[in-house]
Chains A and B, each alone.
Chain A
């Protein structure tokens, strides 16, 4: 019993001696601190040295460097945590859908129907209109919304639509509008209509893309 107590007392003395030495001789740790700032780029060595210095209580100066070192240390740990959370973000952003086992669209995009829709909308809105900048600006936006709503009403599942409308003044100028698409021609399609009257022309395009 006494021997155990003595061993314990010896151990405590050793620890005390260590702490006292750190308190009295903080300068002995300074070379370590200098090396820390030099090897800051090496995170492993940095963290190892950091662990060594955290255990000490010390002078004001050393504490400042310690805090500075700590921020460096915290930066390196955050970079490790980023990877799993990045994966979570990615899987959260994309909607995970189950397999449908469908090879193609069950209902294809009805090009002819949409052609008629475009013709009706453009004719109704623009038959008697004259070209005016303000009016046509509003008209383009309205017509795209109307066409989009009407195409959505057709309820064609798994299709995404893009509606583009160009309205221009009929003049002696020349204009060329071209488009090219990279898609699957078996499932995707587009529909187009040009309307002309005395003072203006209008071109409406609807692109339908199947969601695979």
Chain B
């Protein structure tokens, strides 16, 4: 009876039953394609591009309507004979929180977008 009551209280809000990484992956990939698709690396526009990628990804993630806090990181690098490494380490609740990374590239640049979603316990 108590478990039913708990379920009834929780159900109106979408409970974090694990982060859906695939859904986030698709959302972010579409955003990046939309902003950077067909563009060449341009130092003047790069600020604008990263800002719009991050903002659009965030708005689309919020539209999913899940009870999560989001952190979206985007790194855009010019393609050259360079080396670049990224690593992340997280201290969180592995059942409810999750992450998703999208790597995108074209002829002149590479783009790495990280999405971290942390559950809000309502």
Closest to A148 in B: B89
Question: Which B residues are CB-close (under 8 A) to A141?
Answer: 87
Question: Which A residues are CB-close (under 8 A) to B15?
Answer: 90, 93-94
Q: Is A114 on the interface with B (CB-CB < 8 A)? A: no
For window 2-26 of B, CB contacts with A under 8 Å fall at 3-4, 6-7, 10, 15-18
For window 34-56 of B, CB contacts with A under 8 Å fall at 41, 43, 46-47, 50-51, 53-55
Question: Which B residues are CB-close (under 8 A) to A211?
Answer: 93, 118, 121
Q: Is A173 on the interface with B (CB-CB < 8 A)? A: yes
In whole angstroms, what is the CA distance A181 to B70 when docked? 6
Query: Which of the listed residues A172, A174, A184 has the most CB atoms from chain B within 10 Å of its own CB?
Result: A174
Question: Which A residues are CB-close (under 8 A) to B31?
Answer: none
Number of B residues whose C-beta is below 8 Å from A?
Answer: 54
Question: Which B residues are CB-close (under 8 A) to A184?
Answer: 69
Number of A residues whose C-beta is below 8 Å from B?
Answer: 54
The answer to whether B118 and A177 have CB atoms under 8 Å apart is no
Q: Is A131 on the interface with B (CB-CB < 8 A)? A: yes
Interface residue from A90, A163, A175 paired with B76 (Cβ < 8 Å)? A175
Question: Which A residues are CB-close (under 8 A) to B6?
Answer: 91, 96
Question: Which B residues are CB-close (under 8 A) to A182?
Answer: 58, 61-62, 69-71
In whole angstroms, what is the CA distance A96 to B70 when docked? 22
The answer to whether B120 and A212 have CB atoms under 8 Å apart is yes
- Interface flags, A172-188, vs B, CB<8A=1, else 0: 11111111111110001
Q: Nearest Cβ in chain B — how far from A204, in angstroms?
A: 10
The answer to whether B69 and A209 have CB atoms under 8 Å apart is yes
In whole angstroms, what is the CA distance A192 to B74 when docked? 15
In whole angstroms, what is the CA distance A137 to B87 when docked? 9
Q: Is A62 on the interface with B (CB-CB < 8 A)? A: no
Are A165 and B82 CB-contacts (below 8 A) given A182-B58, A212-B120? no
Question: Which B residues are CB-close (under 8 A) to A176?
Answer: 46-47, 50, 75-76
For window 75-130 of A, CB contacts with B under 8 Å fall at 87-91, 93-97
Query: Which of the listed residues B18, B41, B120 has the most CB atoms from chain A within 10 Å of its own CB?
Result: B120
Q: Nearest Cβ in chain B — how far from A102, in angstroms?
A: 13
In whole angstroms, what is the CA distance A131 to B89 when docked? 22
In whole angstroms, what is the CA distance A115 to B16 when docked? 32
The answer to whether A97 and B121 have CB atoms under 8 Å apart is yes
- Interface flags, B95-122, vs A, CB<8A=1, else 0: 1110000000000000000101010111
Would you give 15 A-B contacts (Cβ < 8 Å), ordered by A?
A: A89-B17, A90-B7, A90-B10, A95-B93, A162-B118, A171-B82, A173-B82, A174-B43, A174-B78, A178-B50, A179-B74, A181-B69, A181-B72, A182-B62, A211-B93
Instruction: List the 5 closest pairs (A to B, CB-CB), nearest first.
Output: A144-B89, A140-B87, A178-B50, A179-B73, A160-B92
- Give B residues with C-beta under 8 Å from A: 3-4, 6-7, 10, 15-18, 41, 43, 46-47, 50-51, 53-55, 58, 61-62, 69-78, 80-93, 95-97, 114, 116, 118, 120-122
